[in-house]
Every structure is written in structure tokens, then in C-alpha cells.
Structure 1
Amino acid sequence: MRFDAPVLLYGAGKEALSTRAFLKASQPDLKVFVAVDSGTADIAETEQIAIADLPDAMATGRFGLIVKSPGVSRYKPIFETARSHGIAVTSNLNLWGSTFRRGRTVIAITGTKGKSTTATLTHLMLVQSRIDAGLAGNVGLAPLDIADKHQVVIFELSSYQTADMDFLPDVAAITNLYPEHVDWHGSVERYYADKLHLVDRDGPLTVALGAAAKGNALVARAVRDHRRLLRDLTPEEALAIENASAHSRLRGAHNLDNALLAAQIALAVGGTMDGVLRGIAAFRPLPHRLEEHRLAALTIVDDSISTTPEATKAALAAYPGRRIALIVGGHEREQDYAELAGLLHGRGVTTLATLPVTGLRLAQQVRAAAPQIEVVEAPTLEDAISALAGLRTRFDTLILSPGAPSYNQFKNFEQRGDRFVALCREHFAESAA
């Protein structure tokens, strides 16, 4: 690939660093600019352009292509301005597609929840089947970093990435579909359309659907033709996977669904049943996804990845028969928590600590729906853990499953999860001694 004009990187995260390295390797003398919505851009051999100066830079033709990072919404007006000046907008993923796609088997997995676990399981199953497979996207490497290293590439993709993905995978999988990321997409309807763009396209494409996606009318319309769907697992295959999952580190019915979906994909691209079962056995929970820690008799569960009410429901379902203290709340994305409020008592929640901003709404709903639950409204995670330490006799399991993003108090869900575990060790250390 040859670039005939300077390139602008919009965003300065992992993918921007990957794109800069790719441009340096393919065209060392290429001029590269970078722009960020806030802060500074620490990317070597780039020149920063202030956001306010972008319209003039576009009008004068300072660069001919924008490579947008996933976290930057494609619906920002500046990108329409760019197109009006004939400046294309692309992504790290699409650059991979135009450079390395040909001759490879590509599996793309998306969904509101479960996509990281499903992609990781698919990768393990294929590797254990002795297939040369690599994992990239939101887990693993950035797309351009995986380059041409593997014959089979599994991409775990967010709605930010599927929105403008311009090449077809061989297999596209959807785990489920719930409202999320409305702030980035502008509306729930646009979120659904951008997510389903992975499959709602012309061309040869096979599709695998998770249990929750199969009954979704929007997904069915996007698939278009049921003949695109991969074959179902046989009852014998499904039973073997269920048995293997029960003896693995996969916890909860939702993770069994992820394993069944991953197996369906792996078998479709040449994996073996033995490899599938070995892949399940080799699975280790991903950080901040129902990640368990033991403090004597207390089970601590870091599910900071949970950014939707549906994810919180799945976390609670993974711990039947427990007396649960649940921490919820975070950045507002206008999600509906009424159903979650109504099922907390039935799922074993005895104590609820809520965080701003969404926690305020849930606290009110829970007090009305389940007055027997002790509700603590806390301004910070530190305050929530401190309050729960004083209510220790009410629970044997403490779960952080916020059902909301972290951006109002933390940089990301990883920082939130790490802080949760550290605070638990601090406040519950005496009970662990």
C-alpha cells in the first residue's frame, strides 16, 4: 500500500500507535500528523494538530487520509467536513483488510456482551486443534500488529469497529444485542445498525449466532437469509461441551452459551472436537470478567467489564445460592434498570451499594421493588467498600458488576476493577487473616 499524501491519526491510543508503526514500516518518509480531543498525543515522529485547526488543515490539504481510533465517534461533524474536502476516513482494522485480508480465513465476533470470551475460546479451540490461528481486535493485538502472522485470524470487534468495517469476514458471529454506547452512536437505533453492519451486507458470508441473538428480530433481519447460518451443533457435541464447561473455569449459563458459540465457529473452520474440548479446559477468565478472589470465607468478584444491566444479570446468575452484596452504578448512558431492580432479591442480593450516576436511579427503583435489600448510596467506590465492610454479616459474596461504564470516575473499566480488588484487600484483610 502506498500513501500519496500525509496521514492524520485521530486519537492516540493502542490502535494509533499500531498504525504509526505500520506507516513507518511501509513508508518511512511519510509525514504523519496526530489530533486528540483532549490532552497531548505521545506518538513518536508525529506532528500534533489542534482540533480547532483541523478545518483549516483540511481546506489547505495538509493531509489526504484520516485514520480514526475506535473510541472517536465516526459521527463527529469534523469527519463530514473531511469528506467534503475529499479526505477519506479509515481505521486500523480497514487498513489491515486492504493489506493482509487476501488468502486468510477471517472470523469476526461481536455482540454487546460475551464477545471477548467467545473470541478467546474460539482461538484456544483452534490452537488446540493445531490450526495456525491468531487473535486480534479488542483482545490480543491491534489488527495491524497481527499483520500476516497467521493463516486464520479471529477479530473481537466493538460496535465502534464494525460500524465502518469495509471488508467481509468468512465467518461473522453475534453473541447478543442490547442497548449500549448510545453516546458514541447517537441513538440506540444507530448502535444496533452499526453493530449489525458486520452481517447486514452483500457478499459471501457465513453467520453464527449466540443463544440470545437467535431470538432477536433485528439480528434475523440483518442476517437476511437463514442459509447463511452455520450448522447447529449435534446433541452429542453440545452435551460434550456442556460437560467440559462444567469442569472448567467458565462460570455461569452465559459462558456456556459463549462456549457453544465458539465451538460452532471452530468446528466450521476445521477445528476438531478434541481441540474444542481442550480449548475449554485451557480457558482462563479474562481480567475483570467474573474474576474471582478469595479473602477467607468471602468471595470477591471483579466484573468491572460489566457496562450494561444485562451483564449484571448474568453475573448474578453465575452465583446461585449466595448471599450477595452488589456494587452497581457508573457513567450515564440512558439504559433501563427497572428489570434489574426487580430481580435482585430473587438472585440473592441482600445488600446493594450504588455509585453515581446511574446508581441513584437504581437505588430508588430497588427501594420500591425490594425494601428488604439494604441500599447504600455511595459517592465513590472507596465509600461503597467502606460501608459494606460495616455490613459484612449480610453477605458471603461481594460482586462489582456496575452495569454502566466507568468514565465518570475512572479512566477505564480496568482501572475500576483494579481499584475494587485493592480496596477489598484493604477493608476485608482482617477477615482474611
Structure 2
Amino acid sequence: MRIAELAGKRIAIWGFGREGRAAIRALRQRLPDASLALYCSEAEGADARAFDTALRVYTNDPDAVALSAYDVVVKSPGISAYKPAILTAQAQGTRFTSGTALWFAENPQARVIAVTGTKGKSTTTALIAHLARALGVRTALAGNIGMPLLELLDQQADVWAIELSSFQTGEAGALELGVVTSLYEEHLDWHGSRERYVADKLKLADAARQLLVNAEQAPLLEKTVAHPNRKLFGNAEGWHVAEGFIRRGDASVIALEQLSVPGLHNALNACAAFAALEITGFDAVAAAPALSNFQALPHRLQPLGERDGLVWINDSISTTPLATLAALDSLHGREVTVIVGGHDRGLDWSPFVQAVATRSALRIVTQGANGPRIAAALRSAKSEIPLGDVDKLGDAVEMAQVITPAGGVVLLSPGAPSFDQFHDYVDRGKRFAELAGFDGHAMAGIGGLGVD
């Protein structure tokens, strides 16, 4: 559905986050006379009315009756497509779209590399853009990573590096290349079941002329084997990590010690980025030196510095137990206190409990809504790891300061979303920094967004 097709329609925008605001701007630009309604939270109402004085603003979630009054609803990605009100309104003829779907409809000729995955998608997308630009390619970096596509509606680029969440993969148009970095259990509250989450995530494959997936993940290999143009990274024949190097087949390309971002998982993200560039016709080996000056994304194993003899690391983006394990692996051999817990989505923490059971030099502090459940799982396993169970993040930081030995690391890697205490993971990461004695407002945003 193109924006021009919305002319004369009854239109509502649902959500006043960055995606919602971008949709309002784009519709006003292309359809200045359109009558637009907005559904947002009560706290957002005043800002929404100031943002666009012609909007009809409703400070509530619309029910099926309200939604059925519109021809088209432009929905923000965080609103589950499986809400009963949406399904009922769809059955009665209301069409639902999104900023992502509108951008793809407006840009059918764009050369798009779209990246999704339970973890690694943001870093991989940013790496693709960084390495492509190092080759002199005019590249756009946008999508779920922090810049809605509609903010770049009239921009041109030779390559579009786009991150898509599982909420957005079904909204993509034709892709030159789809990349899937990993596939674990997540966002069950939005998708309703693990099976639906996997199916929604892999809708990216349906839109992709070529598909690149992680050879180290058996579920990905099984679910994507039927794709006619599937390529792999992480295998010995292609881009992979071995013997302290990122390698392309038998050739060593760049030493891991030259990477600016720590952890084996980030080295594998780099392999995905190199493979993506190569598949789309670029000289990935020539781009390799630029890997050493790639800037780590905030809230992803972000070193904050040292305070009171302790090293503080912010990994607030971690929203699954497996992501927390990856963070701990990157700090192997160091004394670490990890703060875990947050909004409870019902994920299974038993693999985490089993994985940490034999670790030494580790302490765990649980906090947040699912903190007691994590602590109970650790106690049931009779783990000998020192364990603290507190209520809020502030309490966890105070405890970590007391129990972490001098020279050790305090790591925030919650393995859970932030919504029990914070607006989002960014808000949580900033608060962690402040509690540790750093300037949370000075934390850098994601660099390189937009076209360059």
C-alpha cells in the first residue's frame, strides 16, 4: 500500500513513539489535507497535540469498535498484531499497515540488506553500514536500530542496511538480501507462542531474494533449508571465527584482538556483515581494516569506566538469558558480578542456571519483577554461586558494590526487558550508569544513523 492510496481514506495512527511521529510527518508531507486521528497514552496527549495541532488525539487504546471506524490504521511495531481488537477490526474490513510497510511500498527499487535475529541484529546492521561506507558506498542505516524508515522517505542511497525486529519482518517488501543472525525464544507476550515467534521472524525469508543465516544454529538451518538462495556464515567454508582470527575459508583476514567490540558473539556478527557485503557484490576483505575503528553500540557490553576500584559495563540491551550468557563469556577469566532480572515474559531460565552452575569468579544479583523466579531457580539447582536477591535496580547496584572484589567487573546484563521499572532498555542503561557514578545523559547514541 502506497501513501497515495490513503488519499480520501479514514486514517488513524496508533502509537506516538518515534515510529508514530515519523508516520504523521510522512502523511502530512504527502497528503497534507488528510484527516488524521492518533491513539496514544494519556501521558503523551499534550505532546501529541502540540506536535500536530490538526490531529484528533485520543488518549486510550482503541477497541474493535473504534478501530473499525477507520479504513486504514498505521500501527506502531510494539503493538501486537494479534490483539483481539485488531483481529476483529480486520475481519470487518479495516486495513492495518506500518511505517516499515509504507516505506517499502514507496521504495521498491531500493537495494536493501535487512537484518533480523533474536540477538546481534543491531550490531550486525551497524557493521554492514560501517564497512560499506569504508568502501566508499553511500549507505543508509535505519529501521529498528533507532531511525524509522519514514524519516528517510525522500533520501537516496546505494545500499540500505535495515534492522527489522520480529514485529516488522512481515512488513518488509522485496529484499536483495535477508540476514538472520540468531533464533532463540523471545517476545512471547507479543507473538503469543514460540512457534509463532519463529514463524514471524522467518517471514523475512519470504521477502528475500537471497538469505544469509548462522550456520552455528541448528534451528535456523532446519527452518530455512528450503530457501532457494540460502547462504551461510559461521561455517568453515565461508566467513567464520577460528584460531584467534576472522577467517574466510582457509584465509585469515583479521585478528580478533583488532576488533573494537569484545566477545566471540561480536566476532560472529562481523562474519555476518562480511558475508552480507560479499553476497551483494562488494569486496569484504578490502573493508576488513575498518573493523578496528567500529564504535560499539551503546547499552551493548558498553564499558562505562572505573569507579571505586570496580569496572562497570552496561549491557542493558540484554533481554534474554542467552544474551546474558554471551555477555559473561566475553568476560571469561575475570571476577564478575552480574545483575539480572526485569520484566517477566515467562522465559525459561533453566539453561542459564545450568550454564553458570560450574562457573567460578561469578556472583549474581537478581532484581526486578522476575528476580525472585530467577533466584528460586538458582537455589533449586543448589548452585554454589554467591547470590543476592533484591527488589529494584538501585538495590542491586548497592549490593554489587559491596560484594564485588577490587578490580572486578559489575555487569548489568538483565536477560529481561525493562518495562517493570523503566520506559525502555536505554532508560535502564542510563539509570545504571548514574547509580554507578557516571553521567547517564552523556552516554552516546548510535552513530551513523541516516544516509552517509
TM-score (structure 1 length as normaliser): 0.90
Alpha-carbon shift at residue 221 of structure 1 (Å): 2.7
Aligned to 1:343, what secondary structure does the other structure show?
A: helix
Which residue in 2 is equivalent to 1:289?
300
CA deviation profile, 1:182-241 (whole Å, cap 9, x unmatched) = 011111111111111111x2x76101112443x22x553345136432685368536777
Which residue in 1 is equivalent to 2:282?
271
Of 353-362 and 12-21, the range deviating more from structure 2: 353-362
Larger strand percent: 2
TM-score (structure 2 length as normaliser): 0.86
Match of 2:92 among 85, 91, 105: 85
The answer to whether the 8 Å contact 1:329/1:358 transfers is yes
Which residue in 2 is equivalent to 1:374?
386
Which residue in 1 is equivalent to 2:372?
360
CA deviation profile, 1:367-412 (whole Å, cap 9, x unmatched) = 3445432211111111111122222337711111011111111111
Distance 1:243 1:350, change over 3 A: same
Does 1:70 pair with 2:81? no
Match for 2:388: what amino acid?
V
Does 1:23 pair with 2:35? no
Match of 2:395 among 375, 383, 391: 383
For residues 64 and 90 of structure 1, the distance between their equivalents in structure 2, rounded to whole angstroms, comes to 11
Q: How does 1:136-151 map to 2 (within 5 A)?
A: 136-147=142-153, 148-151=155-158
Distance 1:57 1:353, change over 3 A: closer
Alpha-carbon shift at residue 422 of structure 1 (Å): 1.2
Which residue in 1 is equivalent to 2:410?
398
Distance 1:271 1:395, change over 3 A: same
Which residue in 2 is equivalent to 1:430?
none
Alpha-carbon shift at residue 365 of structure 1 (Å): 2.6
Distance 1:220 1:25, change over 3 A: same
Alpha-carbon shift at residue 424 of structure 1 (Å): 1.4
Distance 1:69 1:384, change over 3 A: same
Aligned to 2:254, what secondary structure does the other structure show?
A: helix
Distance 1:85 1:343, change over 3 A: closer
Distance 1:285 1:131, change over 3 A: same
Alpha-carbon shift at residue 347 of structure 1 (Å): 4.0
For residues 204 and 253 of structure 2, the distance between their equivalents in structure 1, rounded to whole angstroms, comes to 28
CA deviation profile, 1:77-99 (whole Å, cap 9, x unmatched) = 22223223322100100000111
Which residue in 1 is equivalent to 2:222?
220
Which residue in 1 is equivalent to 2:161?
154
Distance 1:325 1:421, change over 3 A: same
For residues 88 and 179 of structure 2, the distance between their equivalents in structure 1, rounded to whole angstroms, comes to 34
Distance 1:346 1:293, change over 3 A: farther
The answer to whether the 8 Å contact 1:330/1:404 transfers is yes
For residues 252 and 31 of structure 2, the distance between their equivalents in structure 1, rounded to whole angstroms, comes to 47
For residues 80 and 353 of structure 1, the distance between their equivalents in structure 2, rounded to whole angstroms, comes to 41
For residues 152 and 302 of structure 1, the distance between their equivalents in structure 2, rounded to whole angstroms, comes to 31
Which residue in 1 is equivalent to 2:38?
34
Alpha-carbon shift at residue 364 of structure 1 (Å): 2.2
The answer to whether the 8 Å contact 2:177/2:208 transfers is no
The answer to whether the 8 Å contact 2:100/2:150 transfers is yes
Aligned to 1:286, what secondary structure does the other structure show?
A: coil
Match for 1:9: what amino acid?
I
Q: Which runs of 5+ in 2 are unaligned?
A: 241-246, 439-452
Match of 1:195 among 190, 201, 206: 201
Does 1:128 pair with 2:140? no
For residues 416 and 257 of structure 1, the distance between their equivalents in structure 2, rounded to whole angstroms, comes to 27
The answer to whether the 8 Å contact 1:135/1:153 transfers is yes
Which residue in 2 is equivalent to 1:49?
58
For residues 294 and 234 of structure 1, the distance between their equivalents in structure 2, rounded to whole angstroms, comes to 33
For residues 295 and 382 of structure 2, the distance between their equivalents in structure 1, rounded to whole angstroms, comes to 35
Aligned to 2:435, what secondary structure does the other structure show?
A: helix
Distance 1:58 1:422, change over 3 A: closer
Q: Which runs of 5+ in 1 are unaligned?
A: 427-433
Alpha-carbon shift at residue 281 of structure 1 (Å): 1.9
Alpha-carbon shift at residue 40 of structure 1 (Å): 3.3
Distance 1:405 1:58, change over 3 A: closer
For residues 24 and 436 of structure 2, the distance between their equivalents in structure 1, rounded to whole angstroms, comes to 40
Match of 2:183 among 159, 165, 177: 177
Which residue in 2 is equivalent to 1:308?
320
The share of aligned pairs that are identical, in percent, is 32
Of 361-370 and 175-184, the range deviating more from structure 2: 361-370
For residues 73 and 94 of structure 1, the distance between their equivalents in structure 2, rounded to whole angstroms, comes to 16
The answer to whether the 8 Å contact 2:191/2:197 transfers is yes
The answer to whether the 8 Å contact 1:324/1:349 transfers is yes
Of 68-77 and 365-374, the range deviating more from structure 2: 365-374
